[in-house]
Amino acid sequence: MCNTEGFEHQDKPLLIVISGPSGVGKDSVIKRLREKNPSLAFVVTAASREPRPGEQHGVDYYFLKRPEFESRIAAGEFLEHAVVYGELKGILKSEVQKWMDTGRDVVLRLDVQGAATVREKAPEALLIFITAESEEALEDRLKNRKTETPEKLRLRIETAKQEMARAAEFDYKVINPEGCLEDAVDAIQAIITAEHHAVHYRRVSFE
């Protein structure tokens, strides 16, 4: 191994937000990124909805009953929270701080609205936008999932198109075409590596 003693590099933990519209494959990207880089810490999102088949509490989401969720909002326990398609979702501050205190890079999976909130509270967070190759491709993916009623599907498609237009609010954009998951994950890993060699460090803090 080459000797880099005396050369300073970014050894502070990064707060990494992976976001993008519904249907672009965020969950698949996150899953593969976890497999390829086990040193990353992934924060589990809290949600007020009921679990879908196969989902596990504390693994896929923290499934909280709505009254408990609302009481924890009132107590200021969330870094960000929002109503998404009629349900509450949010990131608990304690979960983020727990992992950052270990010195590990922390990854948040958020919708576009949540990513904007984190940027306000933690301007030095690293925001990565995952997108499909086109609006048409994204619409096809959402239709093929067949998980919503026609009314909810129309809302999700319209929302996804609006979110795709907000890519410029992020630091990086990664396209995730069908069948190219490895390329997308490798691009994200390259971004993380590059940020650790940046001249100006991202010194993340939040209240």
Tokens 């075409």 correspond to: 177
Q: From the candidates 34, 119, 154, 156, give the one annotated as an active-site residue.
A: 156
141 catalytically annotated = no
* CA atoms of 23 and 8, how far apart (whole Å): 40
* CA atoms of 24 and 110, how far apart (whole Å): 13
Q: From the candidates 49, 52, 104, 154, give the one annotated as an active-site residue.
A: 52
145 catalytically annotated = yes
66 catalytically annotated = no
Q: From the candidates 141, 145, 154, 166, give the one annotated as an active-site residue.
A: 145
Phi, psi of 97 (to 5 degrees): -65, -35
CA dihedral 107, 144, 152, 154 (to 10 degrees): 110
Q: Which of these, 144, 110, 146, lies nearest to 125 by C-alpha position?
A: 110
Active site positions, annotated: 52, 145, 156
